[in-house]
Structure formats: structure tokens, C-alpha cells
């Protein structure tokens, strides 16, 4: 078998290419490991190996909103969710709409659209203020 001879610049290009491939693969791995719907999110929380694995699902900068007791409740082996719903909240100045979408699907499909009652609207506005 004939050996391939590379000059210094060709070796640098090969090493740089391998480094780029490695870094891109880390980003792709991170992207693929994140849940992309509410069913996947529940499964990631419920079957996390430990509380730190569950906490790693928090968006960077929002870790202070992690509710340890709530996640521990979901992680208990004697507990199983009997329903998982997925909603999008769209707020206007005078109204808020709740759009129920299909949980566990790769593409969102609308199941229901409802105008939120005033007390629900206020609840989500206050919740959003806590996150900001």
C-alpha cells in the first residue's frame, strides 16, 4: 500500500478540518439530545438519572426558575403522568389565546384554540414577569 505524503499546509488543513468536524458534532449532539415536544420533555424529566440531569434541560440564564421539588415529584418512580398537553400562549394587549397543539409529534398540529379567561390571562402575565 502506497503511503500518502502531505506537506505542512495540507496537514494543517486536515487537522483544521478534523477540529471543525469535531466541534460541529458536539453541537449536533447537544441539539439532538434536547427534547423537542412536551412528551419528550416529560420523559427526559421523569426518567432523568439524577436531579442535575433534569436541571441541565433549563435554558441558560433561567436556572433560578428550576423548581427542585416539582421535578423530584415528576421523577418519582411511583408517579406517572396520565395526560400531557402542549400549549402555545399568544398575548395581545387586550386578549390572550391558548392554542393546544399535538404533543409528541415532530410538527405542531392545532387541536384547539381558546381565548383565555381574564384570570388565566393575568396568571400567565404574572408568570412571564417572574421569568423576565
The rounded mean pLDDT for the chain is 86
In contact, 88 and 103? CB cutoff 8 Å: no
Q: For the whole prediction, is pTM greater than 0.75?
A: no
Residues 6+ apart with CB under 8 A from 46: 74, 75, 79, 80, 81
Q: For 3-57, how does the pLDDT look when each residue is reduced to its tens digit (9 = 90+)?
A: 778 788 887 888 888 888 877 776 665 555 678 888 888 888 888 889 998 998 8
The count of structural domains within the chain is 2
If asked whether residues 42 and 70 sit together in one domain, one would say yes
| Region class of 126: left (phi > 0), else alpha (psi between -120 and 50), else beta | alpha
If asked whether residues 56 and 89 sit together in one domain, one would say no
If asked whether residues 77 and 99 sit together in one domain, one would say no
If asked whether residues 30 and 62 sit together in one domain, one would say yes
Domain that holds residue 129: 85-132
So what's the pLDDT on residue 96? 95
If asked whether residues 116 and 72 sit together in one domain, one would say no
If asked whether residues 48 and 17 sit together in one domain, one would say yes
Q: What is the mean pLDDT of residues 59-83?
A: 88
If asked whether residues 77 and 90 sit together in one domain, one would say no
If asked whether residues 16 and 30 sit together in one domain, one would say yes
If asked whether residues 9 and 52 sit together in one domain, one would say yes
If asked whether residues 8 and 72 sit together in one domain, one would say yes
Q: Which of 59, 81, 103 is the last residue of a domain?
A: 81
So what's the pLDDT on residue 29? 57
If asked whether residues 97 and 59 sit together in one domain, one would say no
If asked whether residues 119 and 95 sit together in one domain, one would say yes
Residues 85-88: contacts with CB under 8 Å, at least 24 apart: 85/38, 86/37, 86/38
Amino acid at each position: 500500500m502506497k503511503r500518502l505524503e502531505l506537506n505542512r499546509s495540507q496537514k494543517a488543513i486536515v487537522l483544521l478540518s478534523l477540529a471543525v468536524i469535531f466541534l460541529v458534532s458536539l453541537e449536533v449532539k447537544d441539539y439532538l439530545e434536547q427534547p423537542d415536544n412536551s412528551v419528550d420533555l416529560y420523559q427526559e424529566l421523569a426518567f432523568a438519572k439524577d436531579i442535575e440531569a433534569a436541571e441541565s434541560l433549563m435554558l441558560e440564564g433561567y436556572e433560578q426558575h428550576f423548581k427542585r421539588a416539582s421535578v423530584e415529584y415528576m421523577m418519582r418512580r411511583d408517579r406517572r403522568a396520565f395526560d400531557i398537553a402542549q400549549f402555545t400562549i399568544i398575548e395581545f394587549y387586550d386578549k390572550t389565546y391558548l392554542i393546544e397543539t399535538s404533543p409528541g409529534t415532530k410538527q405542531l398540529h392545532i387541536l384547539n384554540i381558546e381565548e383565555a379567561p381574564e384570570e388565566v390571562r393575568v396568571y400567565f402575565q404574572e408568570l412571564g414577569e417572574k421569568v423576565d
